A and B are shown apart, each in its own frame.
Chain A
């Protein structure tokens, strides 16, 4: 029996949510809406009497101070249109789940389900069509939500809206299907495509040949399997071999034509460049503990603790459902450090988003959401995922380019800390032994996320499955994470990994490598609803799940603790040393695959890459005589402006160890270069976290794009007080499809871009001696629908972490006191190719910034030392928009004017003041020092390019003298700040 309880605000109480919705409808959609009121609806599936419903309304759903409730009868009144939005069946309803348990707690009886929905009561000049557009285009996402629109004339004020119970009822019979692979090549590819296997023809053939093998056949026969593979087997292979899990492009054999007559054969980009550089650096840098072998990289923090970090992306789901995609992204990456070694406590998040400009006005291609909607959804998803999990979001950045319309990039990173030794064992090591039980903890399995791994290995197309989208549930995960750390310290399990892409198929498959096999009983897995096929149970990417290996003698204690922490845990089978990946359903074998073939059976891809240097038009415009307006315009550009709107909505201080915050300065609103976190509250040791990203430079040369991202990530880290000695980095490649095909005729060029980026990665990580400890790649960031193709610019996010001994020896970017001397460190060259300044003028140019690592290392060592000695009062790196932006940000964040002379700036090949002000040459800083420290500071900088260019003023005047000795910028810092704040000052 279903019941409905509605909750509304009392007259006179502000409905902040409704007001926010109204504002956005007016701003985004342009409809005249005078007021929006909201009503929360709880639909309860349980046998309840009137008294019990009354009790729930009073004690659970309504706040007696601000709200009224009604059981059965509708509360809606005074509206022109009513829109009710609820979830579709099977979509995670977090508030509904909490409500069900809370209702059971009150009534002490079983409640089948509680489903939440929301009513929006609109008043204004609207017709039905407009209300429909508001519902479809703004309030609901049809992939995951249902809605109903009623005018006040249509609405039944006695009975209200119809009772809807969004319960999944699967009517078909559960089955295991054999699949005939002895078919034509075309037929093999049809199978791959239709089942969203994303397997290539050579891979399909490898699978076919494997199942023809006599030994395999004989073994399978013993267990009652036929000659054809089952759908479970084929699906498991597809997951394990997916681009997402196997990084096939990074491991391909590549013939690279460098364009200058030279060719190169590269057997795995990963081995040749990424792994190799880390191995070489490891000879001198001794802090690496576990790299490239686990869910996240592990480095030493101090004698007693190790630091764990991982960054990954969640782009494809975020394109379809920004909120669900992003919350799943952040909560998903959290499980990586949690599932690394024996499990780490999560201590910070860092997020970088790449969107199309939110002021996009053209017609949207089919299936794409407006960039502003993507922005808001992603922002909110990460807000909920991070804040609710109690992990501070310590920094991040936003990057804008029209091509991110095709796919937004949602990079989510998480750091963790774990004792280096737990119960006498090194915590970064783990091993499941034969006989250990396979235990799954956390959420239940549904159809959600089926085919996530293979889906993200394809471009976004018409048939992209909606089930690939899911909504993360931070509370289920937080409960599980707390429980795991408790169980870890009690020594209750031996190995752990997360269930991410590929679900149980990948997590159990990976752990089974430790013991040499597994026997998994799918019918034991707890399901959200009945009727899932075995292959779906195996593959589901339903969130908030970890897989553990528990020794039989510890299982009772483990299960007891799980129960006490309200965490669902289920034994699904055991690890073996049989050499087989053995999956059963209700006692019958449904998959039996050789472990070696499962993990190593996919054929290596063979690809061609061909580089050609693209030549862009060189800009041709007069040097403006006056640069004040140019500077203001630059400050307001999307890639430069203040991101406070987003930062404020993320909790960056929970856990109590916030040292350098994302917002600093006299008004707490200046943009920090990096975050400093103190993870152990009784120790002054700290972690510095920074990011670097420069996709625009890819249009000229992806080699320098990568070099600049590396330099920026290191430079930001150095700017607050990090040091090269104890710094590691993470690489995250997001590419457009680099495999030549009919849909991607320029695949060879795109692959050459990838090769060059990897070469830069090798060259610069080794030059800086900063190793990659973990990374990820996402290679299909394209959109192809109805002949329209949008490919993102090749993008690498580099994230750095460094360890410092004393968090008090750090610096922020805001100018401090009047009279402080201003220095520019590093040389400014004519490097405006791909710059924000050229972009503002409508040009790309060709002089892409190039990193001189030798000089940079020397400078970075000097800056680290000067900060440690307390000689630097403020330090800010020069990045997008160059020196002019850095000076302005430092000045207005400190609430001080400055007086500087551009002719003093160390420069090469620049004769224009605008170029000097806006060139994006890497490896530069603006720092301020006290007058009395001049000698000591310059002593440390000896041998580097640097110059004192001016001083901080008593008043607000921002005065820049140009190369011609005339004043080129004369502004009030408050005006500059306003120009910087208003673009995203939503």
Chain B
């Protein structure tokens, strides 16, 4: 079987490109870090890949608003390439800053397969601070999300200052809920809805991750690539854990799907 190719976006302050590449490779993909400018200049073509990853980081320094300038880079330079990538049935994941860019670009939640319209945003945490802390996530089993298939819960770090999820209006909020766009929600260790610090940013409905209706386009604030090995867990010296970290399955699901459907 041919391993699917994953394009890991890099450049301009994208910081989690190496570990995201590592996670995809460990899951069986051929992952390649590609500079944004090489795509714009046509040196690299997104059409040659089956998976596109927008990693975490501080693209353009989070200046103006997190993810905003990166989103514009795509909007004004690569819009058609990206739309084609999506309509070809391929996979897109955005983590943290990547998720912020995706919602601002409008490719999430992608209501009615319109991937050009901003419906939600990720804004300043209620605490007003950047925070690094681990959070419990409950996965919506009714969601179509390819990446979280078979996963019931996750424990991952968040590392952001602008992760508060807000919908444009009540109708959007309702639709996200009812059409199962919500993939993951912040909960306490018992899996119940919870307040700060379990919900680290004050997101509405505790939303930590959403996908489009096909389940192929996925964005999340927590970092699955930061829990690939058990020693990444903050309490690995005191708990019985599998050698493999919980985040790994997210990447394996993507690679398995791409292997079966896209190569």
Contacts and interface: CB of A to CB of B under 8 A. Distances in A.
Whether both chains belong to one complex is answered with yes
Contacts of A478: 12-13, 15
A383 B130 contact: yes
A388 interface: yes
B121 interface: yes
B12 A682 contact: no
Contacts of B62: 388
Contacts of A315: none
A105 B76 contact: yes
Contacts of A660: 237
A387 B133 CA distance: 14
A264 interface: no
Interface in B91-140: 104, 118-121, 123-134
A788 interface: no
Contacts of A819: none
Given A649-B129, A816-B238, A682 B22 contact: yes
B226 A19 contact: no
A479 interface: yes
Contact of B237 (A99, A654, A656, A664): A664
A379 to B, nearest CB: 11
A479 B11 contact: yes
A894 B56 CA distance: 32
Nearest to B197: A648
B246 to A, nearest CB: 14
Contacts of B60: 98, 102, 475
A656 B75 contact: no
Interface string A748-788: 00000000000000000000000000000000000000000
Nearest to B43: A564
Interface string A531-571: 00000000000000000000000000000000011100000
Contacts of A678: 229, 231
Nearest to B16: A654
A653 B226 contact: yes
Interface stretch (B64-72, B180-188, B205-213): B64-72
Nearest to B238: A816
B13 A66 contact: no
Nearest to A64: B118
A659 B223 CA distance: 15
Contact of A94 (B10, B61, B126, B168): B61
Nearest to B103: A65
B232 A565 contact: no
Contacts of B166: 13, 65-66
Interface string B2-45: 00000000111111101100110000000000010110010100
Contacts of A388: 13, 58, 61-62
Given A65-B120, A810-B237, A390 B63 contact: no
Contacts of A674: none
Interface string A350-386: 0000000000000000000000000000000001000
Given A105-B73, A390-B57, A668-B133, A14 B16 contact: no
A86 interface: no
Nearest to A686: B231
B13 A390 contact: yes
A799 interface: no
B167 interface: yes
Interface string B77-97: 100000000000000000000
B61 A661 contact: no
A648 B118 contact: no
A654 B63 contact: no
A98 B235 contact: no
A663 interface: yes
Interface string B135-159: 0000000000000000000000101
Which of A59, A653, A668 is the most central at the interface, judged by chain B CB atoms within 10 Å of its CB?
A653
B215 interface: no
Contacts, number: 188
B202 interface: yes
A65 B173 CA distance: 12
Contact of A566 (B12, B77, B104, B157): B12
Given A99-B64, A102-B60, A105-B76, A666 B238 contact: yes
A66 B18 CA distance: 33
B176 interface: no
B121 A656 contact: no
B127 A668 contact: no
A814 B238 contact: yes
Given A94-B63, A664-B237, A681 B58 contact: no
Contacts of B235: 664-666, 668
Contacts of B15: 389-390, 478, 654-655
B250 interface: no
Interface residues of B, number: 66
Which of A389, A475, A812, A894 is the most central at the interface, judged by chain B CB atoms within 10 Å of its CB?
A475
Contacts of B124: 14, 16-17
B58 to A, nearest CB: 4
B234 interface: yes
Contacts of B258: none
B132 A565 contact: no
Which of A20, A658, A816 is the most central at the interface, judged by chain B CB atoms within 10 Å of its CB?
A658
A294 interface: no
A250 interface: no
Contacts of A666: 235, 238
A894 B239 CA distance: 12
Contact of B127 (A13, A16, A95, A656): A16
B57 A16 contact: no
Contacts of B225: 656
Given A475-B13, A658-B232, A102 B18 contact: no
A60 B58 contact: no
Contacts of A564: 35, 37-38, 41, 43
Given A106-B76, A565-B11, A98 B57 contact: no
Contact of A655 (B12, B19, B23, B65): B19
B220 interface: no
A98 B61 contact: yes
B228 interface: yes
Contact of B61 (A65, A474, A650, A665): A474
Contacts of A894: 238
A482 B11 contact: yes
Contacts of B61: 94-95, 98, 388, 473-475
Contacts of B127: 16
Interface string A790-802: 0000000000000
Contacts of B133: 648, 668
Contact of B167 (A65, A98, A649, A663): A65
Contacts of B129: 20, 648-649
B69 A106 contact: no
A668 B134 contact: yes
A127 B10 CA distance: 50
Contacts of B159: 387, 651, 653-654
A658 B226 contact: yes
A808 B231 contact: yes
Contacts of B232: 653, 656, 658-659
Counting from the closest, the 8 A-B pairs by CB-CB distance are: A390-B15, A656-B19, A98-B63, A16-B128, A65-B121, A20-B128, A475-B61, A95-B63
18 contacts: A14-B124, A17-B128, A63-B68, A63-B121, A65-B166, A66-B121, A390-B13, A390-B14, A390-B16, A564-B38, A565-B35, A653-B159, A654-B16, A655-B15, A656-B19, A656-B22, A681-B19, A812-B238
Given A63-B118, A388-B61, 13 more contacts: A60-B68, A98-B60, A102-B72, A389-B15, A475-B63, A647-B132, A648-B133, A649-B130, A651-B130, A656-B226, A666-B238, A807-B231, A814-B237
Interface of B: 10-16, 18-19, 22-23, 35, 37-38, 41, 43, 56-58, 60-65, 68-69, 72-73, 75-77, 104, 118-121, 123-134, 157, 159, 166-168, 202, 223, 225-226, 228-229, 231-232, 234-235, 237-238
